[in-house]
Chain A
Amino acid sequence: MANTFTTRPDSETLDKFAAELNHVREHAMEQVGEADAKYIRKIIRIQRLCEISGRISIPLGFFNPLIWVIGVLFLSVSKILNNMEIGHNVMHGQYDWMNDPNINSRNFDWDNAGDSNSWKRYHNHEHHTYTNIIGKDRDFGYGLLRLSDDTRWKPKNIWQFFTYLTLATFFEFGIAYHEVAGERIFMGKRKKTSSLPISREQLKSDFFGKIGRQFFKDYIFWPLLCFPAFLYVLTGNLAANLIRNLWTNTIIFCGHFTEDIHTFKMSDCKDETQGQWYYRQILGSSNLEGRKWFHIMSGHLSCQIEHHLYPDVPAMHYPHMAKQVEQICKKYNIPYNTGSFPKQLFTVWQRIIKHSFPTKGKQTLANA
C-alpha cells in the first residue's frame, strides 16, 4: 500500500479546498501581462550574455586559468538559466500567451541533451498528471532508485547512493533517455500499449539527433574553433555541463523525494476530482525556501508545490502564491512540505540511503 500518514479529507471538503486554490490561480492570472513578458525577456537576455561571456572567456583560459574558471561559471549559469527558469517554464506553456515565435512551448529548444519534444511528452503529461504514483510516474526514482517501501527491494539497491551520484553526473542523458527507456526502444520487452504519438524510429532518431547536436556544439565545434585552446574549451564545456547536471538534479530531487513526501497508487487517481488532484499534487511535492536568486536559478522549482498546482502560471508568481497556498493548506489541515534547501537535501539523501536496505518487517510487492 502507498504510504498515507494522513487520511484524505472527504470530497466535499476537497471541493471547497479546490475552489480556494482556483481563486489563487485566477487572482494570479489576472496579473499576468506586460511585467511577465519583460521579466522573461530580461532573463533570456541575461542567459544570452552569460553564454556569450562564457564562450569567450573559456578559451582565454589559455592565457590565465582564472579566466577559464570564470568562463565555466558563466557558461554554467547560462545553461542552468536556459534549462530551468527559461526552458522548463516556457515548455510548460507559461508564456504561450505572448504569441512570441521564440518563447513558446511548441518551438522552444533547450541547451540540454534531452529532446524537448520527448521531454514535454513524458514530463508535462506523465509526471505532472500522475505525480508520485508508483509505477506510473517514472520520475519517482527514474527506474534506478528505490525511494519508498512501495517498491520491492533488489540487491542493486545496496549501492544506489552511487547510482544516484552517477545519475546526477549524467543527468541530462537521463532526461534524454527517459522516454526511450519507457518505450523499451533499445532493450526490454516492448510494452503492449503505448500512447507514443510518433513512430519508434522517429523517437530513436530524435534521441540521437539531439545528443549529436549537443555533442557537436560543446565538444567539437567550439573546441575546434578555438583550436590552440582546444583542451581548455573541451574541458570547460564539460565542466559547465557537469555543474548544470548536478544542480538541476539536486533541485529536482528536492522537489519530490524529501522526507515527508507521499506516494500514491494508480487507484488513487481514478475518477479523481479537481480537489483530490490538487491534494495529491501537494502531498507529492516539497518546497525549498531561499532568496530571490535561488528561486530564479531553480527555475522556481523551489516552489514545486505551486508549480504542480499551477504548471502553466508564469513561475515568477509562485513565491507570492506560495504564501496563500500555505495558508489554505493550514486551514484544511493538509500538510504543506517546505524547508530550507540544506535541510530538504539532507532528507533526500537520507531517503536514498534508508531505502538502499530492505524494509524490516513488511515486504510489499512492487506496485507496477
Chain B
Amino acid sequence: MNTNASTEIQTPLAKGASWLASSLVNSQSFAGFFEPLVQWLVPQWRADRIRSKITTIRHESSDMYSLVIKPGLAFKCFTAGQFIELTVIKDGAWVSRYFSISSSPAYFQKTGLIEVSIRIQENGRITPWLVSALEAGSIVNLTQAQGEFVLPEKSNDLLMIAGGSGITPIRSMLQQLSNTSAALPNHVTLLFYARSADHFLFEKELKAMAADHNWLSIDFINSAEQGFFSEDHLLEYCPDAHQRSLYICGPSPMITAARKELKRLNFNDSHIHYEFFGPEPVDNAQTGSANILFSKSHKQISVTESNNKTLLTLAEEENTSPVSGCRMGVCHQCICQKKSGVVYNQKTQTYSDTGHQEIQLCISVPVGDVVLDL
C-alpha cells in the first residue's frame, strides 16, 4: 500500500511555533510537552493522531472481521478508496497498521462511522491479536485518510478487479456510487477473485447491490477452480475493457500478474489504477531476494537473502549517510525508522514486526523488502 510520508511544508508561523516549543519546553511541539499530562486524563491521547472509539466488532468470516469506528471530531471526510493508519497500544508499545476504509463517505456523513475490514494474517503479530484485544468502547488512534486509489469526480465506465481482502476499498467505492445521485458511469464491472467459495467477503451485500443497480455487474470468480485473472476472463466478463478505467486491488502477486497481462494486451498504463494490499514485503520473502528502499534519498537496492550484510553496511555502501557508532548494538546511534518490512535483529535473535518501528541498523539484517526512512 502506498504509505509515502506526506511532504512537510512548514509555514513561517509553524516554524516559529516549533522553534519556540523547542526553546521553551524542549519538545518539537507544545502538544508534545503536554501529551503525557493529557494522557493522564484522556488515556491514549496523541497530539498527532485522532483518538477514536470502536463501536462494534463484526465477524465477517472465519478469518476476517470488521471494526466499526467512530472517529474523533478532528477526522475530516475521506474519498472512497482511501486508507487510514490505525494505531493501538500493545504491551506498552504503539503499533500501527494501514487499512483501507471499507465503508463509504456517504455512510460516514449519515452515521459518523467508518468501517475497516481486516483479514487475520496467519503468523501475523497484530491482526489476530487485535480482534481479541479490542471490544466495543476500546480506543484506537487514526490518521486522516490518505491514498490516491480513488475514483475521479466523473468517471468513464469502470472495470474493477479485486483479490481477496482487496475488496475493501472497492466496497467503499461501490457503496458510494450506489448512494450518490451524481454522474454515474454507465457500466461498472467487478471481477472478484477469492481462493475458495467461502472467501467472498460481503458476498450477500454485493449481490444485493448488483441486483438493485443495473449499471453494476459483479462476477465472483473462484481462483482455485478458474485460476487468476487472464485474457480469457477479460473476454468472458468484460469484452469492452479497453474502453474502461481499471481499478485493481489485492495481494501483490495478483497485481503484478494482472499488470503484466494487461501490458501484454496493450492496455494504456494511464487507465490502470492499482493498490497493493496487505504486508507486501512479507509476500516477497520467499523469493530469496529483498529490495531495500531508502525513502529519503530515493535509492533502492536489491540483495540476495543469503547475503548477511547489516542494513548499516548496506546503507553505507549506498552513501545514504547513516549515523553510526559502536556497530555492536550498544549505543543506539544508528537508530532509524523502518517504515515497513521485517528485519532480523542479530543481537536479540528475533524478527521484527512488519509496521513502522525504530530499529538499530548495525544489528539488523533485512528479511524481505524493507523501506527505511533514510
Contacts and interface: CB of A to CB of B under 8 A. Distances in A.
Contact of A129 (B37, B94, B331): B331
Contacts of B92: 33-38, 98
Interface in B170-206: none
B33 interface: yes
A201 B221 CA distance: 63
Nearest to B356: A99
Contacts of A33: 91-93
Contacts of B331: 120, 124-125, 128-129, 311
Interface string B98-131: 0000000000000000000000000000000000
A37 B44 CA distance: 12
B357 A99 contact: yes
Interface string A11-45: 00000000000000000010001111110010011
Given A29-B348, A109-B26, A197-B321, A34 B37 contact: no
A41 B36 contact: yes
Nearest to B26: A109
B24 interface: yes
A104 B328 CA distance: 19
Interface in A77-120: 82, 92-93, 96-102, 104-107, 109-111, 120
B60 interface: no
Contact of A96 (B34, B46, B326, B335): B335
Nearest to B328: A129
B37 to A, nearest CB: 5
A213 interface: yes
Given A45-B40, A111-B26, A105 B93 contact: no
A129 B36 contact: no
B39 interface: yes
Interface string B306-332: 000000000000000101111010111
B23 interface: yes
B344 to A, nearest CB: 16
A104 B358 contact: yes
Contact of A197 (B22, B32, B324, B328): B324
A100 B335 contact: no
A206 interface: no
Contacts of B22: 109, 213
Interface residues of A, number: 43
A221 interface: yes
Contacts of A48: 33-34, 36-37
A216 interface: yes
Interface residues of B, number: 40
Nearest to A35: B92
Contacts of B325: 121, 124-125, 129
Contacts of B360: 93
Contacts of B321: 197
A320 interface: no
Contacts of B326: 124-125, 128-129
B28 interface: yes
A107 to B, nearest CB: 6
A330 interface: no
Contacts of B305: none
Contact of A128 (B34, B39, B89, B330): B330
A312 interface: yes
Interface in B28-53: 28, 32-37, 39-40, 46, 48
A124 B333 contact: yes
A198 to B, nearest CB: 9
B35 A102 contact: yes
Given A93-B335, A110-B26, A128-B331, A100 B39 contact: no
A37 B330 CA distance: 21
A217 interface: yes
Contact of B94 (A100, A106, A213): A100
A45 B95 CA distance: 22
A96 B345 CA distance: 14
Contact of A216 (B23, B37, B324): B23
Nearest to A26: B348
B27 interface: yes
A45 B37 contact: yes
A102 B335 contact: no
23 contacts: A33-B91, A35-B92, A37-B92, A41-B39, A48-B36, A49-B37, A93-B335, A93-B360, A97-B93, A99-B94, A99-B96, A101-B46, A102-B35, A105-B332, A106-B358, A109-B22, A110-B26, A111-B26, A124-B330, A124-B332, A124-B333, A125-B333, A129-B330
Given A49-B37, A105-B332, A125-B333, 15 more contacts: A93-B332, A93-B360, A96-B335, A98-B94, A99-B93, A99-B94, A99-B95, A104-B358, A105-B335, A109-B27, A121-B333, A124-B331, A129-B325, A129-B331, A213-B23
Interface of B: 22-24, 26-28, 32-37, 39-40, 46, 48, 89, 91-96, 321, 323-326, 328, 330-333, 335, 337, 348, 356-358, 360
